[in-house]
Amino acid sequence: MPTPIVIAIDGTSASGKSTNAKLVARALGFVHVDTGAMYRTLAWYCLKHGVDVHNPRAVTAALRRWKTTLVCRDGHVYLLVDGYNPAREIRSAEVSAAVSHVAAIPAVRRWMKKKQRECIQFGNLVMEGRDIGTNVFPETEFKYYLDASPEERAKRRAAEGIQENLADRDRRDSQRAVAPLMVPLGARVINNSNLTPEQTSSLILEDIRRRLARKE
């Protein structure tokens, strides 16, 4: 049985990772994995249970307590907590403010890496995040890094109705001690400030199909 293919799509906040990962996954018939949603789920769990997200020891203790399951539904992987998918709750402003603090904790990143690598059980993947090509699946040859100008990214967040300090988020993600946000070795960098999602995903798909054709 062939080893599943992993397409790694990393990038900054509001760089179009989610939109493009979904478009690419749909076009290829691959399973989509939003790793950021997994970190958000832990941040939501901590807030819900009164865990101080600025206290690494408390968050690590919560990580040992919570009961999670990975499921694949309609081509998307979800991390359930006690059988529940908090899809709407994890997009709140409170969770957005808390998630980068939770994600910077070494024990959290180790736990998430293990869980995210388990997603291979569902087959070929398009996995989006901030450390897929550098930390979770560094061995994949399909690595893409998306970015856009700060002005364009701020405009996108505003259109989504989300208030987020992108500069602060970028700084925390880039400066964390474990698996910081950076361009993966060998990744194709795409600045999509002036591109539509369809144009961006077309560039990614063209590159993937060319690489796959060379393997045949």
pLDDT tens by residue, 57-97: 999 999 999 999 999 999 999 999 999 999 999 999 899 88
Rounded Cα distance between 96 and 13, Å, is 11
* pLDDT at 129 > cutoff 80: yes
In a domain, 77, yes or no: yes
Does residue 163 form part of some domain?
yes
Tell me the C-alpha distance between 132 and 48, whole Å. Answer: 28
Would you say residue 47 lies in a domain? yes
Domain carrying residue 79 = 6-215
Domains identified in the chain, total number: 1
pLDDT for residue 202 is more than 70: yes
Is this prediction's pTM over 0.85? yes
pLDDT at 191 over 90: yes
Q: What percent of the chain has pLDDT over 90?
A: 79
Give the residue-averaged pLDDT of 125-154.
Answer: 95
Higher pLDDT, 9 or 178: 9
**Interval 104-126 mean pLDDT:** 97
Whole-number average pLDDT of the chain = 93
Q: Judge whether 176 lies within some domain.
A: yes
Mean pLDDT of 159-165: 76
pLDDT of residue 206: 97
CB 38 within 8 Å of CB 79: yes
> Does residue 1 register a pLDDT over 70?
no
* Residue 1 belongs to a domain: no
Is 190 domain-assigned? yes
* CATH code, 123: 3.40.50.300
Helices assigned H by DSSP within 29-178: 35-48, 56-65, 93-103, 106-117, 150-159, 166-175
Residue 35 domain-assigned? Answer: yes
**What pLDDT does 171 receive?**
78
